[in-house]
């Protein structure tokens, strides 16, 4: 892909509608196609897809819906997932492998292993979780790459 200094980053955003489990993985699937189309290396596309999928699922399952955004810079990808849900009371706990507050109904759908946030951390070069109880959560993940 040709790059120039004044080129704006590529950005794409999707709404994650409350309770819409029929749209599972839709945003991350679209992001994956976009990144491949932009010529991002395939291992980076794979990592970004995992991050986007887990972030999208958390917004849907725990955040009561919200949105997810992809921004592609010349050498990095930024994924932001935000919701106005209940927030996370203990981020350190939430980051632990196996910690989940998912209900039995959610577990029956195959989610709630408590592996989403650890997986996001593992597959990104930097991540931040801004959250406030009763206000919502904003997760940002950065993945760097060279072409």
Instruction: Report the interface residues with ligand ATP, using CB under 6 A.
Output: 54, 57-59, 61-63, 83, 85-88, 94, 99-102, 111-118, 137
- Smallest distance from the beta carbon of 1 to Mg ion, in angstroms? 32
- Smallest distance from the beta carbon of 82 to ligand ATP, in angstroms? 8
- Smallest distance from the beta carbon of 88 to ligand ATP, in angstroms? 5
Give 42 or 98: the residue with its C-beta nearer to ligand ATP: 98
Instruction: Return the H-helix or E-strand segment holding 141.
Output: strand 136-144
Please, which residues have CB within 8 angstroms of residue 21's CB and are 6 or more apart in sequence? 60, 109
What b/e readout covers 83-109, taking b as 16+ CB neighbours within 10 angstroms? bebbbbeeeeebbeeeebebeeebeee
Picked from Mg ion, ligand ATP, none, the partner binding residue 137 (CB below 5 to 8 A depending on kind) is: ligand ATP
């Amino acid at each position: 892909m040709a790059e120039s200094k004044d080129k704006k980053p590529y950005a794409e955003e999707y709404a994650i509608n409350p309770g819409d489990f029929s749209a599972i993985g839709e945003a991350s699937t679209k992001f994956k196609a976009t990144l491949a189309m932009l010529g991002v290396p395939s291992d980076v596309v794979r990592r970004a897809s995992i991050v986007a999928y887990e972030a999208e699922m958390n917004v849907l399952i725990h955040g009561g819906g919200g949105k997810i955004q992809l921004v592609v810079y010349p050498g990095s990808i930024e994924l932001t997932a935000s919701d106005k849900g209940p927030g996370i009371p203990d981020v350190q706990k939430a980051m632990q492998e196996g910690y989940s507050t998912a209900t039995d109904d959610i577990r029956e759908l195959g989610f709630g292993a408590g592996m989403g946030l650890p997986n996001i951390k593992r597959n990104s070069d930097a991540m931040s979780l801004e959250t406030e109880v009763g206000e919502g959560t904003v997760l940002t993940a950065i993945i760097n790459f060279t072409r």
